[in-house]
Amino acid sequence: KEPDRALLAIKNAQKNQLINEENANLFKRLQSNAYLLQYRKSAVFEGANASVNLALIDAALKSDPSNPEVGQEIARLIAAGQGAPPAFQEALQKQLASGQATAITHILLANRQLQDGKITSAIPHLQIALAQAPNSPMVMNNLGLAIALTDESQVERALQLSQKAVDLEPNNAEY
């Protein structure tokens, strides 16, 4: 209900010419986020099956192509094995190239690549995710594992990362 009310308020602001040069970007982001909230409320991911309304992601993307939350949802689609339309992939690539992508976006993409056996391709995403979320044990562990599997000269660094993950979450059996 809240996203619908937000979109209605934005339409009223447009209708009453309350949006100007100074606040236009704010309204674009608000509109984009409202569409994302609608999408998140409607999306269902169950194993390999997903029920998603791509039109809502498209509306969010068109409202604000620079919104990193949109890129994150596109990455979530890819991570779930759903793929993404070319326009979504292009928008995600722009966010990745410009440094706008969130740590979660990088984690989702890295984990998908790890699942697909593309370990070397996952490493840059994990490195960026670690830079953005330096205290994430999951990122440390996954990066440590990826490094250990791909670069024998970096085994010590891999062990350090994995040990730090264990130190931060000693009861996590996955580390």
Cβ atoms of 165 and 146 within 8 Å: the answer is no
5 closest CA partner among 34, 45, 32: 34
- Please give the helix or strand (H or E) that residue 44 lies within, else none: strand 44-46
Residue 48 pLDDT: 67
Mind listing the pLDDT tens digit for each residue in 33-53? 999 999 999 888 776 677 889
pTM: 0.86
Tokens of 42: 């409607």
Q: What is the pLDDT confidence band of residue 87, given thresholds at 50, 70 and 90?
A: very high
